[in-house]
């Protein structure tokens, strides 16, 4: 099949169309799935193609509406629920944790819950304390949930299809700063698997294990690191539950250095898990202490002034990687990184408000 360039949002949209065409029991619902904005374009054309019974708006009732999706899933439907912010979905933690995550195991493996929950991770333009939380570690901490975090357009499509047709509950996290990013996406059906990481760039000196938007920063950093003689391997984790340890461990065995990059708060993060595991399992192979870069352990403030250095980016990665590789030309490396005019937007085209 040929490849075309699509945005991440278009790739999600294409996956939804393919899934709904393939299986009449795939549903799509959530606040605004049929409104003029169509969830940043990701649900475009669905209601027109598949009707109001399968694609529908909902009351502002997150917990109840998740439970309703779980019920439908227990009767073999495959609901895809959408929330424009992860933060709104926090109201549904009871249904997610006590029902969806438990059902298969608790009832002796008789019935699983094939539901997919798409949550958007906000950032920038003053999204602030309650519109920007990256709580992947919460979800990953619950046995029984799969947690998917694509970083590229092609993976957005492939992993969403894999999530929808996975027999288990999947939390599918889309970073708002990825929606507009373009990439080559194969046309037609795409087979992918959950729980497999991808090596996006091979290297020999240090392993950068990144998730979601941090993959973009890791690739920028790797380019610059090359110029000061550091060969960085970039792993896009793609799924944070289950984690593809084999790919990570093989890379660390080669480089002897690991730097984990997270979009969530540092303490008890996914990156903490990667560091812990590498120390436990590969201690003798490590040339330097494993490290991680994540968000500070603070709520994200709203102010433009307060967020100036709040989100770690390629600069932090370059600095840390240089230290770990005992390379002193940090300034030189940093100088070749372009700094955007405004730190709080994914591009100058973004004018708010959401």
Partner 1 sequence: MKNSSPETQESAVTFENMNGAYKLSVLKSMLRIRMVEEEIAKRYPQGKMRCPTHLSVGQECVPAVIGTLLSESDLAVSTHRAHAHYLAKGGDLKAMLAEIYGKQSGCCKGRGGSMHLIDEKVGFKGSTAIVGNTIPIGVGLALSQKLRGKNDITVVFLGDGAIEEGVFYEAANFAVVKKLPVLFVCENNLYSVYSPLKVRQPQGRKICDIASTIGLHSQEGDGNIVAETHRVLTTAIDVCRQGQSATFVELHTYRWREHCGPHYDNDIGYRSEAEFLAWKERDPIELYKTQLYKAKILDAEKLQVMIRQLETEIQDAFQFAETSPYPPSEQAYSPVFAQGVNINIAEVANG
Ligand X SMILES: Cc1ncc(C[n+]2csc(CCOP(=O)(O)OP(=O)(O)O)c2C)c(N)n1
Read off φ and ψ for residue 114, nearest 5 degrees.
-80, 65
Among residues 68, 74, 91, 97, the one that binds ligand X under rule CB under 6 A: 91
Q: Is 59 in the site for ligand X (CB under 6 A)?
A: no
Q: Are 241 and 140 in contact (CB under 8 A)?
A: yes
β-pair type (198-201, 232-236): antiparallel
Name the segment binding partner 1 (CB under 8 A); options: 98-106, 153-161, 295-303, 319-327: 295-303
Q: Does 93 bind partner 1 (CB under 8 A)?
A: no
Q: Which is the catalytic residue, given 14, 62, 174, 217?
A: 62
Cα 242 → chain centroid:
13
Q: Which does residue 302 touch among ligand X, partner 1, none (CB within 5 to 8 A, set by kind)?
A: partner 1
Does the footprint of ligand X cover residue 62 (CB under 6 A)?
yes
234 in Cβ contact with 219 (< 8 Å) = yes
Which residue, chain included where needed, has tokens 């929330």?
83
Q: Which of residues 3-42 bind ligand X (CB under 6 A)?
A: 31
State the binding partner of 23 from partner 1, ligand X, none, CB within 5 to 8 A by kind: none
* C-beta of residue 213 within 8 angstroms of C-beta of residue 264: no
The candidate with the shortest Cα–Cα distance to 136, out of 272, 42, 30, 230, is: 272
Cα separation, 11 vs 30, in Å, equals 19
Q: What angle do CA 157, 153, 344 make, to 5 degrees?
A: 130
Which tokens is 118 given? 């798409």
> 62 an active-site residue?
yes
Q: Which of 2, 36, 53, 60 contacts ligand X by CB under 6 A?
A: 60
Catalytic residue flag (residue 217): no
Identify residues 48-77 at the interface with partner 1 (CB under 8 A).
Answer: 56-64
* Residue 352: CB minimum distance to ligand X, A: 15
CB 307 within 8 A of CB 344: yes
Q: What's the closest the beta carbon of residue 117 comes to ligand X, in angstroms?
A: 14
Where on the chain is the footprint of ligand X (CB under 6 A)?
31, 60, 62, 88, 91
Catalytic residues: 62, 131
Where on the chain is the footprint of partner 1 (CB under 8 A)?
31-32, 35-37, 56-64, 87-88, 90-91, 125-131, 296-299, 301-310, 344, 351-354
């Amino acid at each position: 099949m040929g490849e075309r360039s699509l945005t991440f949002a278009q790739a999600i949209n294409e996956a939804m169309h393919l899934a709904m065409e393939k299986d009449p029991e795939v549903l799509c619902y959530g606040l605004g799935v049929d409104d003029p904005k169509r969830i940043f374009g990701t649900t475009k054309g669905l209601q027109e193609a598949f009707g109001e019974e399968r694609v529908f708006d909902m009351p502002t009732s997150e917990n109840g509406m998740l439970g309703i999706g779980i019920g439908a899933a227990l009767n073999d439907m495959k609901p895809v629920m959408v929330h424009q912010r992860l933060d709104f979905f926090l109201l549904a933690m009871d249904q997610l944790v006590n029902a969806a995550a438990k059902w298969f195991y608790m009832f002796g493996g008789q019935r699983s819950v094939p539901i997919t929950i798409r949550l958007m991770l906000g950032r920038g333009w003053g999204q602030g304390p309650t519109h920007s939380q990256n709580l992947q570690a919460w979800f990953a901490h619950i046995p029984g949930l799969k947690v998917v975090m694509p970083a590229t357009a092609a993976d957005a499509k492939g992993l969403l299809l894999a999530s929808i047709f996975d027999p288990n509950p999947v939390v599918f996290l889309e970073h708002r700063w990825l929606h507009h990013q373009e990439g080559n996406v194969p046309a037609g059906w795409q087979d992918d698997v959950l729980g497999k990481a991808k090596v996006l760039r091979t290297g020999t000196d240090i392993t950068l294990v990144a998730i979601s938007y941090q993959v973009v920063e890791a690739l920028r950093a790797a380019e610059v690191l090359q110029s000061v003689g550091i060969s960085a391997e970039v792993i896009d984790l793609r799924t944070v539950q289950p984690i593809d340890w084999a790919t990570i461990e093989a890379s660390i065995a080669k480089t002897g250095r690991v730097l984990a990059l997270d979009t969530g708060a540092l303490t008890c993060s996914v990156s903490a898990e990667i560091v812990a595991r590498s120390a436990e399992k590969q201690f003798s192979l490590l040339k330097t202490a494993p490290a991680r870069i994540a968000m500070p352990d603070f709520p994200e403030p709203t102010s433009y002034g307060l967020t100036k250095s709040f989100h770690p980016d390629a600069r932090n990665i370059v600095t840390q990687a240089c230290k770990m590789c005992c390379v002193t030309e940090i300034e030189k490396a940093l100088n070749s990184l372009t700094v955007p005019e405004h730190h709080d937007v994914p591009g100058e085209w973004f004018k708010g408000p959401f």
